[in-house]
Amino acid sequence: TLKRVENPQVFYHTELYYKSVIRMMEVEFDQRLRDIQREYLEFLDDEEDQGLYNKRVKNMIEDKRKRLLVNVNDLRRKNQARASGLLKNAFEELLAFQLALKEYVTSVEPSYVTQSDEFFIAFEGSFGNKHVTPRTLTSRFLGNLVCCEGIVTKCSSVKPKVVRSVHYCPATKKTIERAYTDLTSLEAFPSTAVYPTKDDEGNLLETEYGLSTYKDHQTLTIQEMPEKAPAGQLPRSIDIVVEYDLVDLCKPGDRVQIVGNYRCLPYKQGSFTSGTFRTILIATNVTQLSKEATLFISREDVKNCRRLVKKSNIFELLGRSLAPSIHGHHYIKKAILCMLLGGVEKVLPNGTRLRGDINVLLIGDPSVAKSQLLRYVLGTAPRAI
């Protein structure tokens, strides 16, 4: 911030000095970005080596995709400096990597670049100490590329987010465009959020919605896995931002592994800030850890089920089968069994509806196997917790 002084000439020269410093920093950043981009271009153009990513890029073009999957181990093997820089300074490195991918696609298939403006990189492989959980994701990982595992607890609806708006002025017969970026973009400085309704001369503008560009936007919340959470502590959560082709890849209850950029969103209220910022993970890749297995029931299983149905003490037998290593707690086990099986909705004569599903609240002293009962439920019905 410039401090205005009494002499206007001093202020004028000070302002020129700061502007020149900013221009020098921008030139230095652009040069550094081009150097990094050149190294990533050499990594993608590996025909003389194994040609792995040359084939992946061609397959990406054939499948009409815009995201290339890159293994961090391959990058570490070929260029250790770029792999380390990618994990520590994700935004600058990822921006250069995406520009390198676009340049390489242009050399392979120029017509495909005209159809797609942006290309993206997805990462997999070994992340070392950058492999974290929502609990271990602390401030020292800000700006890093991390791999976070957890259970999806919340998914928002997929909404369109404007990237570039086109406006037509009937008075001047001209069209203007405006691009929009925010703190979830790779650009360091977000653009203004004011939607233009008039041009510089005060003429009214009409928005051309068909010519404007949008992207799919969705937010997720993943929670620490219960088996990895410390005993007696509540699980931690982290918000995830997914865009473009990464939306709708998971649903609540899925165990996922998300690779992305960990970033803070500064919040300013009035002219001051509290100093505490909200943090999010901007995803570059979403992988499901566990797929729903197809239940196979043999003929012998069907015979055993029919034999058990004829027993009069089937409810007692199933209650004792739940968490057999825990002694006692028969009523609690039966209650959990009723919760897992569900019931039938009832409608009373006065019109009152009683739902069939119940909730169970476990209250007790420590070391009475409350958590162990929950772990057995987790093993029986993974989506129940």
pLDDT tens profile 132-175: 888 888 888 888 888 888 888 888 888 888 888 888 888 888 88
The yes-or-no verdict on residue 22 having pLDDT over 80 is no
**CATH number at 131-291:** 2.40.50.140
Structure tokens at 357: 């599903």
Q: Is the pLDDT of residue 23 over 80?
A: no
Rounded Cα gap, residues 288 and 164, in angstroms: 32
Go through 164-175 and write b for each residue having 16 or more CB atoms within 10 A of its CB, e for each that does not. ebbbebeeeeee
Collect all residues with Cβ–Cβ distance below 8 Å to 95 and sequence separation of at least 6: 33, 186
- Closest-CA residue to 73 (of 149, 147, 151, 148): 147
Task: Name the token pair of 251.
Answer: 């649903």
Phi, psi of 203 (to 5 degrees): -80, 145
What confidence score (pLDDT) does residue 177 get? 83
Domain with residues 1-126, CATH architecture? 2-Layer Sandwich (3.30)
* pLDDT tops 70 at residue 271: no
Same topology, domains 1-126 and 131-291? Answer is no
Whether residue 21 is predicted with pLDDT greater than 70 in this model: the reply is no
Cβ count within 10 A of residue 46: 16
pLDDT tens for each residue of 195-251: 777 777 778 888 888 888 888 888 999 988 877 777 777 888 888 989 888 888 888
Cα→Cα distances 3→9, 10, 12, 14, Å: 13, 11, 11, 9
Looking at residue 1, its pLDDT comes to: 43
Phi/psi for 287 (5° steps) reads -130, 130
- For the segment 324-346, the average pLDDT, to the nearest whole number, is 83
Q: For residue 24, what pLDDT is reported?
A: 62
In this prediction the pTM is 0.68
Closest C-alpha to 75, from 102, 111, 101, 112: 101
Q: In the predicted model, what is the mean pLDDT of residues 12-36? A: 65
What length does the chain have? 385
Pairwise pLDDT comparison (322 vs 220), residue with the higher score: 220
Q: CB–CB of 227/375 below 8 Å?
A: yes
What's the mean per-residue pLDDT of the chain?
79
Whole-number Å distance between alpha carbons of 144 and 140:
9
Residue with tokens 């492999």: 131
- What is the structure's pLDDT at 27? 65
The domain limits of the chain are 1-126, 131-291, 299-380
Measure CA of the first residue to CA of the last residue in the chain; give whole Å: 51
Cβ(259)–Cβ(161) below 8 Å: no
Q: Which two tokens stand for residue 189?
A: 């400085």
Cβ-proximal residues to 201 (8 Å cutoff; 6+ apart), any chain: 172
Q: Please state, in angstroms and rounded to a whole number, the distance separating the CA atoms of residues 66 and 121.
A: 8
